[in-house]
Amino acid sequence: MGLSSSFFGQKFGISERDLDRYLGEALSRGADYADLYFEYLATSSISIDESIVKSATQGVSLGVGVRVISGERTGYAYSDDLSPAKILKAAATAACIADSPSKVDTVGLTSSLKHDLYPVLRAPIDQPLEERVLFVKRADAAARAKDARVIQVQASYADSLRHVLIATSDGKLSFDRQPMARLNVSILAREGEGTPQQGYSGGGGRVGLDFFTGSNSPEAYALEAVRQAIVQLSAVEAPAGESVVVLGPGWPGVLLHEAVGHGLEADFNRKGTSAFSGRIGQKVASELCTVIDDGTIDSRRGSLNVDDEANPTRQNILIENGILRGYLTDHLSARLTGSQSTGSGRRENYQHIPMPRMTNTFMLAGSSDPEEIIRSVPKGIYCANFGGGQVDITSGNFVFSASESYLIENGKLTRPVRGATLIGNGPEAMQYISMVGNDLKLDQGIGICGKEGQSVPVGVGIPTVRIDKMTVGGTAR
Amino acid sequence: MTETELRIIAANAVQQALFSGATDAECTLSDGSEFSVSVRLGEVEKIKEADSCGAGIRVLLGQKQGSSYTSDLSPEGIEQMVASAIDIARITETDPHAGLPDASELGQLEIDLGLYSPDTLSTAEKIDIAKRAEAAALAVDPRITNSDGASFDSHSGTRVFANSRGFLGSYRSSSCSLSAVPVAKSGDRMERDYWYSIGRDHSQLEAPELVGRLAAERVLRRLGARKVPTQQATIVLEPRVARSIVGHVFSAVTGDAIYRKSSFLLDKLNHLVAHPSVTLVDDPNIPGLFGSSPFDDEGVPGRRNLVIENGFLKTYLLHTYTARKLGLATTGNASRGLTGSPGTGHGNLYLEAGSMTPEEIIRAVGTGLYVTELIGQGVNTVTGDYSRGATGLWIENGELTFPVSEITIAGNLTQMLENILHIGNDLEFRGSTSAPTLAIGGMTISGAQ
């Protein structure tokens, strides 16, 4: 596809000559590199509460970000107005900041290679609103019909369609159309006058409306949310102290995101501020662990045809059989460390500078039967679902919060336990993984990752794993 | 754009919505500029500078409501936004409690809250301030071997709000902040920590040298941290951490949480919910502070609310919708971004200071954990269950001793509020939620064994 037939060519009449002129202005004070990121984002959301579709929102934002790099210095400016005068002003501002003795010229733009991972013909946002309203109404009805102990149901459906155009001074030109949809159900169940308990489920991805059927139907999410809340009604206090921990497959992969993923982002490693800095080639996990970040999986929430710096996303091996193999790099960290970008440069929107980020991060399946893993534990805790997590990448300490877990007693799951935070140290905790299941599962498409004030959609996945030692932050002795 | 131009755009958007069939409408506009510079190891790393604006509208068609937003404030952009809001309102359902505040509830404070002060620093001066803060941090001790940089950020903007009940208000605000993030090393373990200062303008900031030195002292005292055994203990939260407890109480007293029965403080109005020494105030009317504003995001004037008085829960924090749901009056706590329906916000929400110095509290506690950082989201404000990752210093014989990390602290907010043993005299306003040093008994520490 050429620029003239692209979204920005058609809707805003942007030509290659315009892009050349803007990049030229960005480089006018001397620099090593410049790029432009045009973004048009349309979003809509619908929510139901107390069985009433109480509110719905839709809207549009657009803008362009101009970045100029010289050495380790980055100048950035943006405009929410696509008139040439405003873009040139942003380019001049960014140029002035970079102000460098080095000089490069723009190279003629050539369309970059990219994947075709989400060929959604009709983006959800272009479908009739009436169809999308039904999702939240169906989820509400299904949750309420399932169990009389359900006292509250909130469901929300949100979708977006982002068009981007990226042009770089080293000649890359890329367009992408990025659909996204997500349905969430959150419920509250109460037994008599007891404490209410929450349940939550949801899913989505870079998909069309036809995704929300079968195991991804509003009813399926609603029933899963109800199941979780009902389980919590009989939960006992979580144990306190060190314990054997078994993680169930899927969303508990957030462990990898926190324990190793962030610590392997190249901006921290280039600066030597990560607990994983300078450890390429070293053993940082048990030999059973192979961890991958893969932005190329069809239709996934964390996938991208091309990253936000016009580099195609890739399948990147982070840890192979326990050995640290590589970091996730963006343009700047790759250039400063003399490597190639791993296609991991991402940004929240045109108002932000890209940084190395994860896409879909998961551990490859091992050979153990999941049942056998649970049977191997005389006393421990099994975590089936998690809330969020957080990491201090410098010390390597990370936490993640279990929202559905069970005691393991004599190789069997017994009582459900209440929510608790688990804490460990990244490079150490991964060494304690002693069994890896054959049941790799990716999450349902609900992940949001925050870093330095920027949120981006991500995915995680993991098979059932046994961790021999981890600290569980409950209250029971 | 000037404040007057923005006011005209907002008022016109409301008129257009009424003309297009809305029975009521409200429009929020914001226009602002941001600047940030970060330096690392003495060199400029990033500078960002930009202006941006946006508008949002909420329309009511009887008791049905929809909203829309745009980044395009041109007449065409506003027209499309209004049409889009009315379009999407059609698919929502009648909500008997939906609506704008009554005209009699609208208004704004007439006093000058001191929210704006012009930015008079040049880019070079801002770079210099950040460099001085980082250099001060690096100079404190040879164990500070690296830096995650220092940054100076500033922001100024105008906010406008108009509705179809006759409200039109606007105010300008500004803020700037300075932070430093040194990294220290001992053996093969590294730690980082930070310190920051914020003000309406740079004259209110702590000196760069002080910000750097405090950040350095904070990171140095983390070196050599170890786990402590799993046990029951008293914890002492320093102010930077204690304010998070105020945030959890806030989540539980919002009208939204109450009408959805999603709060551990449900049905507790006028009950004793905290130690009798606890008084929690929300006050948006204190000049210069970061939670202050002349009206809330529905055009209702802010007012001082005593949320907890001597341990008793005295009020929930409400906006028009949640007030109507609960049969009460709004407390002026509407808060919103540009789009959607209002949610609950707060002004300056703070726990009133006690009389003990932090040192006296540590001495009185004798043995326990002094907490300097909490991480993770393990707080459930429906059940009150609380479990978070913690970093700090061990208290022994009434003194701070060795550093502690990779442990969790756990309890339940209901008991934690009752078990507040001591409240410090060191209340400071570094944001819109604030608390002095707090000692809380009966917590479970999970660590080694």
* Distance between CA atoms of residues B374 and A399, nearest Å: 10
B99: left (phi over 0), alpha (psi -120 to 50) or beta: left
**CB of A83 within 8 Å of any CB in chain B?**
no
pLDDT tens, residue by residue, A355-375: 999 999 999 999 999 999 999
Q: Which fold has domain B3-37+46-105?
A: PmbA/TldD fold (3.30.2290)
> Which residue from B71, B94, B449 is facing A242, i.e. has the nearest CB?
B449
CB pair distance less than 8 Å for B43 and A425: no
In 10 A of CB B220, how many CB atoms? 19
pLDDT tens, residue by residue, A194-233: 999 999 999 999 999 999 999 999 999 999 999 999 999 9
Strands of B348-351's sheet, edge to edge? B312-313, B305-309, B280-283, B348-351, B433-434
* DSSP-derived 3-state class of residue A134: helix
B98 is written with which tokens? 């939906």
* Distance between CA atoms of residues B23 and B63, nearest Å: 9
From chain A, pick out residues whose CB is under 8 angstroms from the CB of B227.
Answer: 471
Q: Tell me the DSSP string of A51-102.
A: TEEEEEEEEEEEEEEEEEEETTEEEEEEES---HHHHHHHHHHHHHHH--S-
Structure confidence at residue A112 (pLDDT): 82
Residue type, B154: S
CB pair distance less than 8 Å for A471 and B71: no
State which residues of chain B have pLDDT below 70.
none
Structure confidence at residue A107 (pLDDT): 78
- pTM of this prediction? 0.96
CA distance B425 to chain A (A): 30
CB pair distance less than 8 Å for B72 and A53: no
**CB of B410 within 8 Å of any CB in chain A?**
yes
The stretches of B27-164 forming alpha helices (DSSP H) are 75-89, 123-139
| Backbone phi and psi for residue B418, each to the nearest 5 degrees, phi listed first | -70, -30
Residue A119: name the closest of A306, A305, A314 by CA: A305
- Using alpha carbons only, give the angle B234, B240, B241 rounded to the nearest 5 degrees: 40
Per-residue pLDDT tens listing for chain A (477 residues): 689 899 999 999 999 999 999 999 999 999 999 999 999 999 999 999 999 999 999 999 999 999 999 999 999 999 999 999 999 999 999 998 766 777 777 778 888 888 999 998 889 999 999 999 999 999 999 999 999 999 999 999 999 999 999 999 999 999 999 999 999 999 999 999 999 999 999 999 999 999 999 999 999 999 999 999 999 999 999 999 999 999 999 999 999 999 999 999 999 999 999 999 999 999 999 999 999 999 999 999 999 999 999 999 999 999 999 999 999 999 999 999 999 999 999 999 999 999 999 999 999 999 999 999 999 999 999 999 998 899 999 999 999 999 999 999 999 999 999 999 999 999 899 999 999 999 999 999 999 999 999 999 999 999 999 999 999 999 997
pLDDT tens, residue by residue, A378-389: 999 999 999 889
* DSSP-derived 3-state class of residue B366: coil
| Domains in chain A: boundaries | 3-233, 240-473
From chain B, pick out residues whose CB is under 8 angstroms from the CB of A275.
Answer: 190
Tokens 């404030």, residue?
Answer: B73
> Which residue from B92, B260, B449 is facing A56, i.e. has the nearest CB?
B92
DSSP B272: B
**CB of A471 within 8 Å of any CB in chain B?**
yes
pLDDT tens, residue by residue, A89-123: 999 999 987 667 777 777 788 888 889 999 988 89
A318 is written with which tokens? 């982070």
CB pair distance less than 8 Å for A474 and B387: yes
Structure confidence at residue B261 (pLDDT): 95
A18 is written with which tokens? 């315009």
> Which residue from A52, A240, A388 is facing B230, i.e. has the nearest CB?
A240
Mean pLDDT of chain A: 95
Among A55, A87, A347, A452, the strongest candidate for a mutation testing the B interface, having the largest count of B CBs within 10 A, is A55
Q: B 7-66 residues with CB below 8 A of A?
A: 40, 43-54, 56, 65-66
Buried residues in A31-50 as b, exposed as e (16+ CB within 10 A): bbbbbbbbbbbbbbbbbbbe
CB pair distance less than 8 Å for A198 and B67: no
Structure confidence at residue A441 (pLDDT): 98
Residue of A nearest to B49 (CA): A77
From chain A, pick out residues whose CB is under 8 angstroms from the CB of B387.
Answer: 238, 401, 419-421, 473-475
CB pair distance less than 8 Å for A57 and B448: no
CB pair distance less than 8 Å for A79 and B380: no
DSSP B100: P
DSSP A273: -
From chain A, pick out residues whose CB is under 8 angstroms from the CB of B130.
Answer: none
Q: Which residues contact B170 (CB under 8 A, 6 or more apart)?
A: B3, B6, B7, B158, B159, B160, B161
Structure confidence at residue A103 (pLDDT): 77
Among B45, B58, B72, B385, the strongest candidate for a mutation testing the A interface, having the largest count of A CBs within 10 A, is B385
Structure confidence at residue B207 (pLDDT): 98
* Distance between CA atoms of residues A295 and A341, nearest Å: 13
Q: Which residues contact A352 (CB under 8 A, 6 or more apart)?
A: A65, A453, A454
pLDDT tens, residue by residue, A167-183: 999 999 999 999 999 99
* DSSP-derived 3-state class of residue B283: strand
Q: Which fold has domain A3-233?
A: PmbA/TldD fold (3.30.2290)
| Domains in chain B: boundaries | 3-37+46-105, 225-449
Structure confidence at residue A1 (pLDDT): 67
